[in-house]
Amino acid sequence: HLHSKFRLPHLCFVVSSSLVLVTFVLLSCHTCSQTDTDPEPIPRELAHLRRVCEAPSCPAIISLLDWLRDSSRVVLVMELPEPCVNLFRFIRQCGGALEEDQARRIFQQVLVAVQHCHARGVFHRDLKTLNILIQTSTEKAKVIDFGSSSSFHDGHYQSFHGEHRSSRVSPPECVQEKGYQAVPTTAWSLGVMLYHMVSGGAPINLPQDPIISLTSPPECRDLIQKCLAVNPEQRPTIEEIACHKQSLDGAMKTSTHTHAHTHAHCL
């Protein structure tokens, strides 16, 4: 028996004493793609979520439990950890900023999720504190909302045209409607997220000339500054971020099942 908790577009239901998150995705040509296993086109969000949730899955990505389709929409049924809030709210509940070790543990989990997505051929495109769920009892993180996702490749993507990302956290090349690449864009998003966790807000004057005004340890400032380089070619790769001292200190011993950890080009 289902008991509705919230209104559209996200509903929360109790199913056999467990909470699930339900999202309704409207069917439209520009958001659908054809797959080998489906007779009709399905939303890219569903296609990419299925791809990243295939076994072996990643514990830092929301699990797709089921999906249903009617004439105008697709219904996605996903797990909902209890108790949980998004990372933005979690930071506020922790007094406006996280302790360095606390931020590192969450950052490590997001890195594992990013590596898993890229290894599965998925570019999330909208990593931010609102799209990370935190189970408050364990501080386990899960990446959610693949509505802006795209297939991962090394080439250039076209601009978002303002419909997917917030310009406040987007890298300069996206805001200026230039072509952008998956890895530098993700590095920028990770830098903004890390800054938000340790400072409670976004760097000043994003995105054109970010000013890093942190009192955090040098390793943390160094990684943030590298990720927020205005020139995308100067930003680190995901592997370089993962083996940076800021990421490794404490407990960066976790590795994704599907993506070999590379330490050949550490920062």
79 marked ligand binding residue: yes
The 3-state DSSP class for residue 225 equals helix
38 is catalytic: no
Distances (CA, A) of 197 to 70, 129, 202, 225: 40, 9, 9, 15
Candidate list 38, 70, 126, 222, residue with the active-site label: 126
Comparing CA positions, the residue from 29, 238, 231, 66 lying closest to residue 152 is 238
Q: What angle do CA 228, 234, 236 make, to 5 degrees?
A: 75
Q: At a CB cut-off of 8 Å and minimum separation 6, what does 99 contact?
A: none
* Separation of alpha carbons 43 and 52, rounded Å: 15
Binding residues: 79
Residues marked active site are found at 126
Binding residues for ATP: 79
